Homo-oligomer: A and B are copies of this chain.
Amino acid sequence: MSKHVVILGGGIGGIATAYNLRRMDSSLKITIVSGRPYFGFTPAYPHLALGWRKFEDITIPLANLLPKFNIDYVPENGESIDPDNNKIRTTSGKEIEYDYLVIATGPKLVFGAEGQEQYSTSVCTAEHALELQKKLEEFYADPGPVVVGAIPGVSCFGPAYEFAFMLHHELKKRGLRHRVRITYITSEPYVGHLGLGGVGPSRRLMEDLFAERSINWIANVKITKVEPDKVIYEDLEGKQYEVPCKLSMLMPRFMGPEVVASAGDKVANPANKMVIVNRCFQNPTYKNIYGVGVVTAIPPVEQTPIPTGAPKTGMMIEQMALAVAKNIVNDIKNSADRYAPELSAVCIADMGGDAAGFFAHPVLPPRATVKHKKAVWMHWFKSAFEKYFLWKVKSGNISPFFEEKALELLLGVHGVRLCKDCSGSPGTC
């Protein structure tokens, strides 16, 4: 009888895993469990917030999409996992048995600063971005100072930089820039750290990009509180400061959602409830459970004075999805070959007119290669990639042959690597 793979989550990680599995094994039974009824291209949420994209442009309803590829769709969230009995329960109480479980839920957002959820905004979900879009319309009518930043524990800094740059661009276009003081406040030890310990000369590059745009920055501090008209932060000595603002966009930190926690301490990392995985992105205890995407527990690149985490960018998630799909299919086929994702980060911060891109390979040092580039074409490349990726999702083409070849040629990177032994931290092999 054909095996059943259940995938929690219908985002980049879940979809990419499902498509890879389908491509490798047409008879496999695949089920995606996702309470969110659409696939969303998360890197475009800042664009959604600024009204540069419409919701329909960057999302695809799952109910229409998945049946085309013979993937079952359960339009509910997972509520609990019973790893000892190989089944999950959904929010409506439905039980689903699995042979393999892939956890790709994405993160639970933690608005760790007092008042952050109430008085600040985010671009981490389409809903937040749409809410911010509305607030921005009011803001343009009566502008004032803006704070953009990241609270302690954040692992995903790119959208904060991107939002600061893009807001600058939008305000210029509207002739309002001279009425808005923009301040970037971050838990990174320095601007350009990006949770990555820097990527080549990213500190200098980011400082210059901010300076050229008259964006002020304050690094190595903890945002502790948001009030309707100010953001309050502390330095390392605990001294408090406040920055007035009419609008703020602060990145939350990420942890694993309750459904992961329900699986117990052998699946959920006690510290952050993310999925414990080995270098093949398989749970070391329950060998038929895998993790893909932001919900997996990856160690930080380096200790920072104020805690920060390593980002999991789109390329890393695609690499995880490919490795996990290969590992499941090989397990079914009784092949001993196991794959580990290379975990290379590509990060392109759109700035409206142009864009700044970084490439770090591998993400966890020592690094073989770092690259950086600021160029107008990067802005167009990012837009083109968005269209290409949405095309891939609509047409079911994840990791097509020519993409792997391009990565190899351009960046010298392979998506995944054959690994003798899966035990060991993610990112090594």
Contact = CB atoms under 8 A, between A and B. Distances in A.
A204 interface: yes
A214 interface: yes
Nearest to A143: B366
A201 interface: yes
Contacts of A207: 201, 204
A49 to B, nearest CB: 21
Interface stretch (A51-59, A133-141, A171-179, A306-314): A171-179
A179 B368 CA distance: 8
Interface string A182-209: 1000000000000000101111100110
A367 interface: yes
A365 interface: yes
B181 A365 contact: yes
A208 B372 CA distance: 12
A366 B211 contact: no
A367 B200 contact: no
A201 B191 CA distance: 14
Contact of A208 (B181, B204, B369): B204
A70 to B, nearest CB: 39
A302 to B, nearest CB: 10
A362 interface: yes
A180 interface: yes
Contacts of A142: none
A212 interface: yes
Copies in the complex: 3
A279 to B, nearest CB: 14
Contacts of A71: none
A370 interface: yes
A360 to B, nearest CB: 8
Interface in A350-377: 361-362, 365-370
Interface string A58-74: 00000000000000000
A368 B198 CA distance: 29
Q: Choose among A180, A207, A368 the residue with the greatest number of B CB atoms under 10 Å from its CB.
A: A368
Nearest to A362: B178
Contact of A181 (B201, B202, B211, B366): B366
Contacts of A212: 200-201, 370
Contacts of A145: 366
A205 to B, nearest CB: 10
A276 to B, nearest CB: 24
24 contacts: A145-B366, A172-B369, A175-B368, A177-B366, A177-B367, A178-B361, A178-B367, A179-B366, A180-B366, A181-B365, A198-B211, A200-B212, A200-B213, A200-B214, A201-B207, A201-B208, A201-B211, A203-B211, A204-B204, A204-B207, A204-B208, A204-B211, A212-B370, A214-B366
Interface of A: 145, 172, 175, 177-182, 198, 200-204, 207-208, 211-214, 361-362, 365-370
Listed from nearest, the 4 A-B pairs whose CB atoms lie closest are A178-B368, A177-B368, A201-B211, A214-B367
Given A198-B211, A200-B213, 16 more contacts: A175-B368, A177-B367, A177-B368, A177-B369, A178-B361, A178-B362, A200-B211, A200-B214, A201-B207, A201-B208, A201-B211, A202-B211, A204-B211, A212-B370, A213-B370, A214-B370
